[in-house]
Amino acid sequence: MNTAGEHNVVTSIVANTPLPRMVRVRQLLDRSCINPSEIPALVKSEIEPLRERTRPGMRIAITCGSRGVANIVAITRAIVDFVKDCGASPFIFPAMGSHGGATAQGQRAILYGYGVTEEAMGCPILSSMEVVEVGQTEDGFPAYVDRNAYEADGIILCGRVKAHTAFHGDCESGVIKMGVIGLGKQKGAQAIHRDGLSQFATLIPAVAKVVFEKVNVLGGLAVAENAFDQTFLIEGLKKEAFFTREPEILRKAKARMGRIFFDDIDVLVVDRIGKDISGLGMDPNVTGRYCVPYMKPEKRVQHIAVLDLSEESHGNCNGIGIADVTTMRFAGKVDLDETYPNAVTSTVLSAIKMPMITHSDKTCIQVALRTCNYYDREHPRIVRIRDTMNLEEIEISESMLDEAMRTDHVRVVSEPYEWAFNEQGDLW
């Protein structure tokens, strides 16, 4: 890759593209949440109705996903302790489709990275990619379940309920999806993704019903988070309540999620993306741009510039295909073995296509702005965010200042200032 040529040619082409002064604003998002110290007792209280189904001597499988759920160590340990208190023997297993490079070792490593270890949990962690087909829907879609979980006497699902990045419906990401793609491992995820995600709103519930009929799922724990990655809801559910309660929990989660209170954006600068931030690296429900054609843009954003990849993403760059420009620093962190299994399983290859790569942050942003069409070149509209999970304080260009002052959910917290680049053209 001829990086020197890019530096000499593209950098010089856009070098005279002026970047407007920026202003820091605070978006007023709901901060209410559960005190972390109260979570273990609350979890045990919420799943207490499952005690009648958790008999002494049973082996109980407990799911743990890959999405970086807030307080996941405390939540999972509380479920483990509850099972033990019932006289049963718990074990944890990774329930994460094709993540972790679609290997048992990779999925175990993800859990360990979150602090979910055998020592911390006080029970075994059984990681395997082997599954059992337990049945099929009326349309012939197979339902798979992790073999270790299938051979257990019961399963407790734990899932974060939130808006999905590629489809909308009554049930999106949550306990029900955990029972399909989480339990199904790579093979189950690949089967349900075979025709894309456009039918997920009906397909996931259909496959879930097969799983719940054929496998002894005792119930589950639904958690939801606010815009600050803080737990604001924990609700225990018997299996029979999944389809009635999860849609209501989803509505509450969507009302609390982070957002950008500005539309009509010329350039959206995203400091970093990653699988720990969103399943698609950067949440389309925030950026307004999706990687599948049947999801229509919810806000006008001409170009997205992504500067970096989070360390916690372990090289998985899923979602970079939504961006228009990125940096050499980002490209250098990409691990194809971590990224490609996710894309092949989901069938959404557009999500991993690499956009134009530039030498520095400054050039990346200038290219994104320089290539916009039909915008006010004297007063461009630029928004900069850290990532789609940290949206309380963001930056907007000076031309948006009057709009910010008229917006009820926004407070201006700085005077206009210039971009702060170092000698290499990267942001401090």
**Amino acid of residue 4:** A
DSSP track, 229-292? S-EEEEEEEEGGGHHHHHHHHHHHHHHHS---S--SEEEEEES-B-TTT-TTSS-HHHHS--SS
pLDDT along the chain (428 residues), means of 10: 63 95 97 97 98 97 90 98 98 90 91 95 97 94 96 97 88 94 92 83 94 96 95 97 97 95 96 90 91 77 97 92 96 93 85 95 98 95 96 97 96 97 94
For the chain, first and last CA: distance in Å?
A: 26
Cα 316–chain centre separation: 12
**Across 65-110, where does the E strand assignment appear?**
89-94
Q: Which of 293, 406, 270 is nearest to 349 (CA)?
A: 293
- Token pair for residue 317? 């760059």
Q: Which residues of 142-162 are buried (b: 16+ CB within 10 A; e: fewer)?
A: bbbbbbbbbebbbbbbbbbbb
- Looking at residue 19, what DSSP letter applies? P
The CA distance from 22 to 427, in Å, is 13
d(CA 260, CA 409): 10
**Residue at token pair 């990849």:** 309
Sole residue written with tokens 């092949």 = 344
Whole-prediction pTM? 0.82
Q: How many CA atoms lie within 13 A of 189 on its CB side?
A: 23
How are the residues of the chain apportioned to helix, strand and coil, as percentages rounded to the nearest 5?
40, 20, 40
User: How confident is the model at residue 347, as a pLDDT?
Assistant: 84
CA distances from 172 to 159, 164, 200 (A): 11, 5, 8
CATH architecture of 36-256: 3-Layer(aba) Sandwich (3.40)
Beta bridge partners of 394: 25
Domain-wise residue ranges, the chain: 11-29+259-412, 36-256
Residue 317's nearest CA partner among 285, 259, 361, 270 is: 270
Judge contact between 285 and 321, C-beta under 8 A: no
| Tokens coding 341 | 């299994």
The answer for residues whose C-beta is within 8 angstroms of residue 192's C-beta and 6 or more apart is 141, 180, 181, 184, 200, 203, 204, 207
Retrieve residue 65's tokens. Answer: 């996903």
